Structure 1
Amino acid sequence: MRHQQEKNPDVPTALPKREEIDSAYIWRLEDIYPSIDEWEKDFDGLEKLLPRFQAYQGCLLESAATLLDGIRLMENAEIIMGKLYAYAVMKSHEDTSKEFYQALADRVGYLLTKLTAAISFYTPEILSGGKGVIDGFLGQSEDLKQYAFFFENILRMAPHTLTPSEEELLARSGEVARGPENIFSLFTNADMVFPEVFDEDGNTIELSEERYTRLIRSQDRQVRREAYEGLFGTYSKYRNSLAAMYSSSVKGDLFYAMSRKYGSCLEAALDSDHIPLSVYDSVVDTVRFNLKPLHEYVALRKEILNVPELCMYDLYVPLANEIKKNITYEEALAMVVKGLEPLGEEYISVLKHGFEAGWIDVYENQGKRKGAYSWGSYGTHPYVLLNYNGTIQDVFTIAHEMGHAIHTWYSHGHQPFIYADYTIFLAEVASTTNEALLLDHLLESSLDRQSRLYLLNYSLEQIRTTVYRQAMFADFERQVHNMAEAGEPLTAERLSALWHGLNVTYYGPEISVDAHIDIEWARIPHFYTAFYVYKYVTGYAAATSLSQRIVGDGIAARKSYLDFLKQGGAAYSIDILKNAGVDMATPQPLQDTLNLFKEKLGELKDLL
């Protein structure tokens, strides 16, 4: 049993306050709005602009010129809304306990609902004209031709588009629909309090989601266990409330799917990206068919750790010492730059610019939103939120999030607003390509056995957590929504039992699946964006193919990849990837990735 040691005064026991963070490591949201007054000015301007949409309702298809003017008005409003929304929400994420910015985010959320309602007649009116009318207008106006794909995408949705009044009603329900996610975010980020635990040096520290990520990788098994039980024990205390939040979100998915006459929630979610159901089914089925290598890896992990019973809190500890601990942020940036050199000078110059130009919010502070993401709006540079802790995993997170950011930078820079945003299906490709290239670089430059052991283990962990684990998440989501569609209750007990069974199936007989892990579903924020997580799997598979082409084919593959980044949403996602050389309509890219897992597992065994 560990005895409490005297606290080291040099070790912080509580998270720093926001104002204690050096401004050099804080993103520059003033690049969007220099002051709250400027934000308020745009907010008021957009509110006053909304009534102008009424002039187009019922007569949007009066002429090609009217349609063009109406779309341009919509674009202008959405560009302003993008800036307002991004600024307010990112400010609220700096410290979720500050009511002023929470109120700002609430206000812009309500304004977004009003804007969505104001333009809700566009789609049904365009559909009322049909392909013939739209094609006629395109022939009359050169300026309208750039919207040809926009119209095509709308016209294909005809079976699932309602009357103008019904569309307005659904649009007005948007703020209510966002309620479960907003409640979950505030509850888990601002209100949930985790216990104090011991770190590796015996210091008592306040547990947080970000610190858990570090502690669960500790070589000290008792540190791992205490962090694991502290985190999941806290979530378990609120399991019924968390189940109610998630159940409400799923019921919202069901409401919208039924309202739009889809056969299922899954079909509704995939149709927005024009992805066939077979792609989702193939992800789950292909991974389930290839569970044997994962079971072998789990058995090897048990052997290497030399434990009589492998526990869930043993899954993340590296099987070899980290390459370097306590990596400074500046060192991490240099590592990322070196690893991404195969992408060429142009890409690297954008990367360095992002590092230097206030794109990134680096360190954790009290109340800051957990995790990491990239965000922004049209007409401004991208932003990246980190919670940097100095681990090699954090270095990969920088590469990952900058992949998103530079994808946005290229997309926004080369596409008009209407096509500037890429789909979520494509979102994880660029980020994961960066991780794959960084990993390749580190493996090639690591000659000593210990470093190669660590990196091979890291490679296996990437595929385990991004492919196997996210496929399990996708499996869970599909089953949960099937339960809801069948009218079955989504109680904490039922959700936890399903989660427990999936962990047993995916990880195999060599691990002890204890009761603490049963509540893990309750801490996954992506579940509030239904059927998002499978895209991590498809994105990883596509990125594996693209990174191998970039390294192997050089200049031609690099050009093809940069062209992919510039496409935004100017075509269907499946087609954009196919043009880049990856056909996700087949299971082959995913199967290649799972074969890579087996290959790396063999290399790891050979080194032992």
Structure 2
Amino acid sequence: MSSVPERSDIETEYKWDLESIYATDDEWEEAYEEVEDRLDELEAYEGRVTEDGETLLEVLELREEVMRQVEMVIGYARMRKDENTADQHYQALSSRGSALASQAGSASSFVGPEIQDLSEDELDQMIAETDGLEQYDHYLHDVLRLSEHTRSAEVENVLAELSEVTGASGDLYSMLMNSDMEFPTVEKPDGEAVEITQSNLTNLLKNQDREFRQTVHEEFYDELGEFHNTIGTALKSKVKGDVRLSQIHDYETAREAAMDGPNIPVEVYDNLVGTVRDNLDKLHRHAELKRDALGVDDLQMWDLYMPMTETETPDVEYEQAREYVVEAVGALGDDYQRRVQEGLDSRWVDVYETENKRSGAYSGGTYDTQPFILMNYQDDISSMFTLAHELGHSLHSQLTSENQPYVYGDYEIFVAEVASTVNESLLTRHLLDTVEDPTFRRHVLNEYLERFRATLYRQTMFADFEHQIHELVEDGEALTPGKADEIYGDLKSEFYEPAVVDDRIAREWARIPHFFNYTYYVYQYSTGISAAVALADEILETGEPAAERYLDFLKSGSTEYPLELLQTAGVDMSSPEPIQRALDVYDDHLDQMESLI
């Protein structure tokens, strides 16, 4: 019987180096206490923030010092918890870290409202007369931009204190899915028993044995069904919280509130959904090609992840994946390539799935730490692409933190997915250009098409679902688990029209963590791949000049709004044009796959 290994069974070189943040938990405790002690110092500025330019500069610098410490405290605790979500010690540390972040937010919640008491002329004069304050020009004017949606300091303080409570739905969902739920063990065609997990589900659904795939599909979603009401309640609480907070801040909708922070017009969202819906014929074509390639009369939901190739996905061990990725990013120059290699050699990556480890993958870290990447590597082509994806995020973070002050040392999610998907595009082109094995090449092309489908079409479908459930609550209707199933099932039927949509797949929303942890987030995967396709093509076609513009974009952090940053890099996401261009590339790759199979 196969089993997920214990963390102690994994060699150190395949675990991320969290000791580089705090060597011991005792050091974490000391840092925690130090932050707690500084909160009073920060609160002492309440009512004085804008009395003169020097005071404003002092409070901004102090808040930065505190928040940088908070980020390290909470980052370490959360990543330790993600190593083993059942470890109660790190559950407690993570909870304390979240509480500390909430306290810090509360302690500094007066800063924004007091800045917003200034007129634009008063602010400009203060910046002009105070050395050092000019660094905060973009940030300060952005605070003024949001003034009509900011409540009094007292109200914002209360909301900051409640942030830990308002985020409870995500914590509940994570604990349920990663620790408490026990998915079934199934017998593979070769007789080996394997436990279904969130991390290996997709891989199991790529097994050549169709009856086995059906069993995995049914067993997994039946188990989800056992917790249908609990997960549905978590979703309802999350959406109702989003709606209520948007109303408190005087927005008409939760979508408007979520998109106003990064200053993204809601038309960008509508352009995405509308353009993708206008091109569903391409997705339907993909489904029909897959049905024909598999030689089945009806494409079932347990067939969707199957590659359009005659063999199971080739094994790609982690060391080989590293080599391919490093070679692929050479298109971005020697410095970028060197950084990727050094990161892989410096234990950025927590590589393998272990018992109770958080599922999925992400890039983490803080302004003052090295990047960290959580993975659940499965020795396949998909995992190799995920490695390239997360390294895109990590290099973006590293280049930003090295080139920008803390105030601009992060970046909006809207641009983050560009960096990750450019790496995927470069990896695809590199593999198709250099690997001669025809079976491997077909799997690479299939992987590109599948990731395209999953990123542009599937995430847009998620975005449509997310918008519909928020509109439902905003209209005063009840969001029940059954209603969520109905909405999701209708979307699945529309997007995957040539396939048979069964009742179980209507519960798929319940396995998507983004719906429980973020608000109007997933659409940015789709806009990101659209921008990335254009940028990657330009880099490969024109070489160094395009690569330099792209690297300048990665170094810019949040010095400008996302749409402006992308326009500088050469992509206009206020237009449907990049989305349509990406969909046309998808269609071209479908042509290539059709000719191969």
> What residue number does 1:78 align with?
67
Contact 1:373–1:385 (CA under 8 A) maintained in structure 2: yes
Equivalent-residue separation in structure 2 for 1:82 and 1:250 (angstroms): 26
Post-superposition Cα deviations, 1:208-254, rounded to whole Å, max 9, x if no partner, equal 11221211111111221111112111111111100000110001101
Equivalent-residue separation in structure 2 for 1:241 and 1:97 (angstroms): 19
Post-superposition Cα deviations, 1:371-424, rounded to whole Å, max 9, x if no partner, equal 000000111111000001100100001100011011000011110000000011
Equivalent-residue separation in structure 1 for 2:505 and 2:419 (angstroms): 31
1:57 aligns with 2:50: no
1:267 aligns with 2:256: yes
> What residue number does 1:5 align with?
none
From 529, 536, 539, the equivalent of 2:525 is 536
> What residue number does 1:127 align with?
116
Task: State the secondary structure of the residue aligned to 1:362.
Answer: strand
> What residue number does 1:306 align with?
295
1:219 aligns with 2:239: no
1:492-511 matches, within 5 Å, as 492-508=481-497, 510-511=498-499
Task: State the secondary structure of the residue aligned to 2:4.
Answer: coil
C-alpha deviation, 1:449, in angstroms? 4.4
1:515 aligns with 2:500: no
> What residue number does 1:4 align with?
none
1:369 aligns with 2:358: yes
Contact 1:321–1:454 (CA under 8 A) maintained in structure 2: no
1:476-495 matches, within 5 Å, as 476-495=465-484
1:110-509 matches, within 5 Å, as 110-321=99-310, 325-447=314-436, 449-508=438-497
The worse-fitting range, judged by mean Cα deviation, of 377-386 and 216-225 is 216-225
C-alpha deviation, 1:338, in angstroms? 1.5
Post-superposition Cα deviations, 1:499-535, rounded to whole Å, max 9, x if no partner, equal 1100110111x21000110110011011120110000
C-alpha deviation, 1:323, in angstroms? 8.7
Equivalent-residue separation in structure 2 for 1:321 and 1:341 (angstroms): 32
Contact 1:273–1:572 (CA under 8 A) maintained in structure 2: yes
Post-superposition Cα deviations, 1:111-133, rounded to whole Å, max 9, x if no partner, equal 11111111100111000012122
Contact 2:314–2:440 (CA under 8 A) maintained in structure 1: no
Contact 1:374–1:385 (CA under 8 A) maintained in structure 2: yes
C-alpha deviation, 1:321, in angstroms? 4.6
Task: State the secondary structure of the residue aligned to 2:573.
Answer: coil
Change (3 A) 1:606 1:222: same
Equivalent-residue separation in structure 1 for 2:402 and 2:427 (angstroms): 25
Post-superposition Cα deviations, 1:419-441, rounded to whole Å, max 9, x if no partner, equal 00001111111011000100011
C-alpha deviation, 1:177, in angstroms? 0.7
Instruction: Give the letter for the 1:134 counterpart.
Output: L
Post-superposition Cα deviations, 1:133-165, rounded to whole Å, max 9, x if no partner, equal 211111111201000000011010011011111
Change (3 A) 1:522 1:285: same
Contact 1:322–1:451 (CA under 8 A) maintained in structure 2: no
Task: State the secondary structure of the residue aligned to 1:318.
Answer: coil
Task: State the secondary structure of the residue aligned to 2:251.
Answer: coil
Contact 1:466–1:540 (CA under 8 A) maintained in structure 2: yes
Change (3 A) 1:396 1:459: same
> What residue number does 1:14 align with?
3
Contact 1:258–1:264 (CA under 8 A) maintained in structure 2: yes
Contact 1:327–1:391 (CA under 8 A) maintained in structure 2: yes
Equivalent-residue separation in structure 2 for 1:357 and 1:166 (angstroms): 44
C-alpha deviation, 1:446, in angstroms? 4.0
Equivalent-residue separation in structure 1 for 2:311 and 2:556 (angstroms): 38
Contact 1:476–1:498 (CA under 8 A) maintained in structure 2: yes
C-alpha deviation, 1:337, in angstroms? 1.0
The worse-fitting range, judged by mean Cα deviation, of 221-230 and 418-427 is 221-230
Task: State the secondary structure of the residue aligned to 2:470.
Answer: helix
Instruction: Give the letter for the 1:427 counterpart.
Output: A
Task: State the secondary structure of the residue aligned to 1:48.
Answer: helix
- Identity rate, percent: 38
The worse-fitting range, judged by mean Cα deviation, of 266-275 and 446-455 is 446-455
> What residue number does 2:88 align with?
99
> What residue number does 1:557 align with?
546
TM-score w.r.t. length of structure 2: 0.98
Equivalent-residue separation in structure 2 for 1:501 and 1:511 (angstroms): 13
C-alpha deviation, 1:309, in angstroms? 1.6
Post-superposition Cα deviations, 1:461-498, rounded to whole Å, max 9, x if no partner, equal 12211001110000000100000101111111100011
Task: State the secondary structure of the residue aligned to 1:197.
Answer: strand
Task: State the secondary structure of the residue aligned to 2:299.
Answer: coil
Equivalent-residue separation in structure 2 for 1:380 and 1:309 (angstroms): 51
C-alpha deviation, 1:359, in angstroms? 0.8
Task: State the secondary structure of the residue aligned to 1:320.
Answer: coil
Instruction: Give the letter for the 1:126 counterpart.
Output: I
Contact 2:410–2:557 (CA under 8 A) maintained in structure 1: yes
C-alpha deviation, 1:322, in angstroms? 6.0
Contact 1:442–1:455 (CA under 8 A) maintained in structure 2: yes
> What residue number does 1:46 align with?
35
Equivalent-residue separation in structure 1 for 2:105 and 2:311 (angstroms): 49
Task: State the secondary structure of the residue aligned to 1:386.
Answer: strand
From 532, 535, 539, the equivalent of 1:546 is 535
The worse-fitting range, judged by mean Cα deviation, of 441-450 and 387-396 is 441-450
Contact 1:26–1:358 (CA under 8 A) maintained in structure 2: yes
Equivalent-residue separation in structure 2 for 1:23 and 1:448 (angstroms): 33
Contact 2:246–2:253 (CA under 8 A) maintained in structure 1: yes
CA root-mean-square deviation: 1.2
C-alpha deviation, 1:607, in angstroms? 2.5
From 491, 508, 515, the equivalent of 1:527 is 515
C-alpha deviation, 1:35, in angstroms? 0.9
Contact 2:207–2:312 (CA under 8 A) maintained in structure 1: no
C-alpha deviation, 1:452, in angstroms? 3.8
Report the number of matched residues. Answer: 596
Task: State the secondary structure of the residue aligned to 1:209.
Answer: coil
Contact 1:541–1:589 (CA under 8 A) maintained in structure 2: yes
Post-superposition Cα deviations, 1:151-186, rounded to whole Å, max 9, x if no partner, equal 011010011011111111111110111100000001
Contact 1:467–1:537 (CA under 8 A) maintained in structure 2: yes
Q: Which runs of 5+ in 1 are unaligned?
A: 1-11
Post-superposition Cα deviations, 1:23-55, rounded to whole Å, max 9, x if no partner, equal 111111010011111111110011111011232
Equivalent-residue separation in structure 1 for 2:435 and 2:13 (angstroms): 32
Task: State the secondary structure of the residue aligned to 1:338.
Answer: helix
The worse-fitting range, judged by mean Cα deviation, of 314-323 and 364-373 is 314-323
Equivalent-residue separation in structure 2 for 1:345 and 1:464 (angstroms): 32
Task: State the secondary structure of the residue aligned to 1:132.
Answer: helix
Instruction: Give the letter for the 1:380 counterpart.
Output: T
Equivalent-residue separation in structure 1 for 2:210 and 2:344 (angstroms): 36
Contact 2:313–2:443 (CA under 8 A) maintained in structure 1: no
Contact 1:199–1:215 (CA under 8 A) maintained in structure 2: no
Q: Which runs of 5+ in 2 are unaligned?
A: none
Equivalent-residue separation in structure 2 for 1:381 and 1:212 (angstroms): 31
Instruction: Give the letter for the 1:566 counterpart.
Output: K
C-alpha deviation, 1:200, in angstroms? 4.3
Contact 1:200–1:218 (CA under 8 A) maintained in structure 2: no
C-alpha deviation, 1:201, in angstroms? 2.2
Post-superposition Cα deviations, 1:45-89, rounded to whole Å, max 9, x if no partner, equal 111110112321111111111100000110000000010010000
Equivalent-residue separation in structure 2 for 1:282 and 1:500 (angstroms): 23
